[in-house]
Amino acid sequence: MLTSNVALAQQVITGKVTDGKQPVAGATILVAGSKEGTSTDANGNFTLTTNQSNGQLQIKFIGHQTQQINFSSTAPIGTVILTPTDEQSLDEVVVVGRGIIDIAEDRLTPIAVSTITRQIIEEKVGGQDITAALVNTPSVYVTSQARGFGESSMTTRGFDQSNTAFLLNGQPINGMDNGRVYWSNWNGLSDVASLVQIQRGLGSSKLAISSVGGTINFVTKSTEMQEGGFFKRTVGNDMLRKSTIAYNTGLMANGFAVSAMFTDWRGDGYMNKTGGAGQNYFLSVGYKVNDNHNLNFMVTGAPQWHNQGFTSSLQNFLNNGRKFNGNVTVINGEEINPRKNFYHKPVANLNWDWKISDKSALSTVAYASMARGGGQSPRTDATTAKVPYLAADMNNHQWFGIVSNYNRDLTENLSFNLGFDLRDYKGTHYRQITDLLGAPSITHQIRMLDPISRTNYETSNEFTTNPWKTWTNSAKSKEDRLAWEYDQTIRYGGLFGQMEYAKDGFTAFVQGSISQQQNIREDYYQYEEGKQKSKTVNNFGYNAKGGLSYTLAGHTLFGNAGYYSRQPYQNNIFMNYANDVNPYAFNEEILGLELGYKFASRYFDVNLNAYRTTWANRVTSSSYIASQLDITDNNYNPDLVAVGDLIYQTNYGVKQDHQGLELDFAARVFTGFTLKGFASLGDWKYDGNAITISRNEDRQVLGTTDRDLTGVKVGDAAQTAFGGGFRYSIIKDLSIDADYRFYDRLHGALPAEAKNGSNTLRLPSYDIVDAGISYKVAISPKNTMSFRVNVNNLFDEFYISEATSYRTAGANDTVWKGVNTSNNVLMGWGRTWTGSVKFTF
Residue pair 173/164 in contact by the 8 Å Cβ criterion: no
Q: Which of 177-191, 398-412, 695-709, 751-765 has the highest mean pLDDT?
A: 398-412
CA–CA gap between residue 287 and residue 298 (Å, rounded): 12
* DSSP structure class, residue 23: B
CA–CA gap between residue 7 and residue 509 (Å, rounded): 31
What's the average model confidence in pLDDT over 503-525?
A: 93
Biggest CA pair distance of the chain = 95
Question: What phi and psi values does residue 199 have, to the nearest 5 degrees?
Answer: -100, 100
CATH of region 91-220, choose from 3.40.50.300, 2.170.130.10, 3.40.50.720, 4.10.490.10: 2.170.130.10
Q: Beta strands 360-380 and 388-409: pairing type?
A: antiparallel
CA–CA gap between residue 208 and residue 707 (Å, rounded): 33
pLDDT at 486: 95
CA–CA gap between residue 212 and residue 161 (Å, rounded): 10
Task: Find all residues with CB under 8 Å of 476, minimum gap 6, and list them.
Answer: none
Question: What phi and psi values does residue 729 have, to the nearest 5 degrees?
Answer: -85, 105
Q: Which of 41-50, 279-288, 799-808 has the lowest mean pLDDT?
A: 41-50
Residue 89 has pLDDT above 50, yes or no: no
Residue 622 has pLDDT above 80, yes or no: no
- Burial (CB < 10 A; 0-12, 13-18, 19+), residue 800, is buried
Q: Is 214 left (phi over 0), alpha (psi -120 to 50) or beta?
A: left
Which residue type does 801 have?
A: S
CA–CA gap between residue 351 and residue 89 (Å, rounded): 20
What's the average model confidence in pLDDT over 29-50?
A: 77
- Does 1.10.3680.10 match the CATH number of domain 228-840? no
Closest among 131, 146, 168, 197 to 282, alpha carbons compared: 168
Residue pair 407/106 in contact by the 8 Å Cβ criterion: no
Domain assignments of the chain as residue spans, ordered by start: 3-85, 91-220, 228-840
Give the H or E element holding residue 91: helix 90-93
Query: DSSP letters along 6-75, please?
Result: EETTEEEEEEEEESSSSB-TT-EEEETTSS-EEE--TTSEEEEEES-SSEEEEEE-TTBPPEEEEE-SS-
Task: Find all residues with CB under 8 Å of 509, minimum gap 6, and list them.
Answer: 107, 108, 109, 498, 499, 500, 501, 546, 547
Q: Beta strands 276-288 and 293-301: pairing type?
A: antiparallel
- HSE at residue 651, side-chain half, CA atoms within 13 A, is 24
Residue pair 836/776 in contact by the 8 Å Cβ criterion: no
CA–CA gap between residue 165 and residue 168 (Å, rounded): 10
* Confidence class for position 819, pLDDT limits 50, 70, 90: very high
pLDDT, tens digit (0-9, with 9 covering 90-100), for 352-398: 999 999 899 999 999 999 999 999 999 998 888 889 999 999 999 99
pLDDT at 671: 84
Residue 727 has pLDDT above 50, yes or no: yes
CA–CA gap between residue 419 and residue 404 (Å, rounded): 5
What's the average model confidence in pLDDT over 787-801?
A: 97
Task: Find all residues with CB under 8 Å of 191, minimum gap 6, and list them.
Answer: 244, 261, 263, 280, 282
Residue pair 117/218 in contact by the 8 Å Cβ criterion: no
pLDDT, tens digit (0-9, with 9 covering 90-100), for 132-156: 999 999 999 999 888 899 999 999 9
Classified as helix, coil or strand, 191 is helix
* Confidence class for position 432, pLDDT limits 50, 70, 90: very high
Q: What pTM did the predictor assign?
A: 0.84
Distance between the two ends of the chain, CA-based, in angstroms?
38
Give the H or E element holding residue 591: strand 588-600
Q: Which segments within 41-156 are labelled E, that is strand? A: 45-50, 55-60, 67-71, 80-81, 113-117, 140-143, 153-156
CB atoms within 10 A of CB 52: 23
CATH of region 3-85, choose from 2.40.10.120, 2.60.40.1120, 1.10.1740.10, 3.40.1550.10: 2.60.40.1120
Query: DSSP letters along 181-218, please?
Result: --GGGGTTHHHHEEEEEEEETT-S--SS---SSEEEEE
Classified as helix, coil or strand, 317 is helix
Residue pair 140/155 in contact by the 8 Å Cβ criterion: yes
CA–CA gap between residue 762 and residue 718 (Å, rounded): 10
- Burial (CB < 10 A; 0-12, 13-18, 19+), residue 386, is exposed
Residues facing residue 616 across a β-bridge: 589
